[in-house]
Structure 1
Amino acid sequence: MVRALKNAAFRYKPEIIFLSETKKKKRYLEKIKMKMKMDESFYVEPVGIAGGLALWWTNNVNVDVLNAGKSFIDAKISFQEEEEYYMTFIYGPPYVDEKQQFWSSLSSLRTSNSEKWCIIGDLNIVAKPEEKQGGLPFDASQAK
């Protein structure tokens, strides 16, 4: 997996990399970040062996992390001289009992702000049965 990430970074030369469900501590991820030639970082540590988020960026990007939780990193971002906008990097909770709180937190991030906003990541929501493979059966009440 690290080799594939390194190859993609070499080929596409991204200025921001977001990893979700890393299941790894900061110390391990910092070694990989250096291989990716990223300059800065922000981490949400995993809980046990679950979760974990990593956000890496180069010095060509200005990233101001505004808020973070176990399922998201919310930041204000600008590239060089371009205008600022907001990005929320997400790994939505896989457990039904955590989803309502997650959606409430997410919706409150931008309620008082009309700036540009981009959400990136995995919301862990299945909208229709065709998207689902394996595991528990499709639950239409969770697709709302």
Structure 2
Amino acid sequence: MRELVQIYKPQLVVLMETKVDFKTMGFFFNGMGFTASAHVDPIGRSGGIWMLWNPDIVNVRVVEASLQQITAIISRQDYPNWLLSTVYVSLNNNLRDNLWDQLEEVAQNMTEPWLVDGDFNDFTTRNEKQSLQGNQNQKLSQDQRRGRKFNERVDNCKLMDLGCTGPRLTWFNNKKGWANTMARKGCQGYLCSILIEQSVNVEMGNISVVREFSDVFPNELPERLVDKEIEFTIDVVPGT
């Protein structure tokens, strides 16, 4: 990891499925410049989310944290704010549904571009899973329902899949022969939602007060207005 940080020089790093408490690694990350953090420690050997950043370069304000996700507003000088949700989704169906309920609530109140990354423990189509276990027709039906539900949740949050590079199947269960199962999941999941604002080109001649006092206003306004005090006088004509 130290070598990767030296090569790519990230200012914010997210780690998932950490398996150990953050306190055991804090000094290690401090030595690489990540002196600020938000973390959800694993339960036993399951789960764990660490969000690390360099506070001299980037500001991270956590707005929500739970066992399955950390959501934060990311801000940096001269760049627009954006929202980051890092997830490690439980295999428990009820907990999984709770997380997606939380993400849908975020989507309803979102005002910045939003990136959701992490381990969804799910797949979008049957092509993202390869298994020879059990009744294949039954497994196919179950996987289709599961994939359909996952896609519906993604659509409800108005997210789109950014895709990935590397092997098509990124996880396997360490079993051989007929018991082997492979799937595309893990840290290959990146979903984003972008707000598109339609800009309106306002012409000077379309503003009523400008038309009325055309001799006062310039034909073009400067790109950046200067905020300063201006001295002026109003000559009053007697009898008016």
By the TM > 0.5 criterion, same fold?
yes
- Structure 1 alignment gaps of length 5 or more: none
- Among candidates 93, 118, 121, match of residue 118 of structure 2: 121
What's the TM-score, normalizing by structure 2? 0.54
- Structure 2 alignment gaps of length 5 or more: 134-138, 149-240
Partner residue, 1:85:
82
Q: Given the alignment of the two structures, is residue 37 of structure 1 paired with residue 41 of structure 2, yes or no?
A: no
- Superposed CA deviations along residues 11-66 of structure 1, whole A, max 9, x for unmatched, are 10001100011111121121331243212111101112211110000120010011
Q: Given the alignment of the two structures, is residue 54 of structure 1 paired with residue 33 of structure 2, yes or no?
A: no
In 2, distance between residues paired with 1:122 and 1:75?
Answer: 17
Letter in 2 for 1:16: L
Letter in 1 for 2:41: E
Partner residue, 1:142:
146
Partner residue, 2:103:
106
In 1, distance between residues paired with 2:35 and 2:17?
Answer: 21
Which secondary structure state, in structure 1, belongs to the residue aligned with residue 34 of structure 2? coil
The structure that has the greater radius of gyration is 2
Task: State the structure with bigger RCO (CA 8 A, min sep 6), 1 or 2.
Answer: 1
In 2, distance between residues paired with 1:133 and 1:9?
Answer: 34
Partner residue, 2:4:
8
In 2, distance between residues paired with 1:64 and 1:11?
Answer: 26
Which secondary structure state, in structure 2, belongs to the residue aligned with residue 115 of structure 1? coil
Partner residue, 2:19:
23
Q: Given the alignment of the two structures, is residue 68 of structure 1 paired with residue 65 of structure 2, yes or no?
A: yes
In 2, distance between residues paired with 1:130 and 1:110?
Answer: 28
Contact preservation (8 Å) 2:126, 2:147: no
Q: How big is the shift at 1:107?
A: 0.9
Q: How big is the shift at 1:105?
A: 1.2
Partner residue, 1:131:
128
Which secondary structure state, in structure 2, belongs to the residue aligned with residue 84 of structure 1? strand
Contact preservation (8 Å) 2:65, 2:71: yes
Letter in 2 for 1:142: R
- Compare the two structures and name the one with the higher strand fraction: 1
Coordinate RMSD, CA, aligned: 1.9
- Percent identity over the alignment is 26
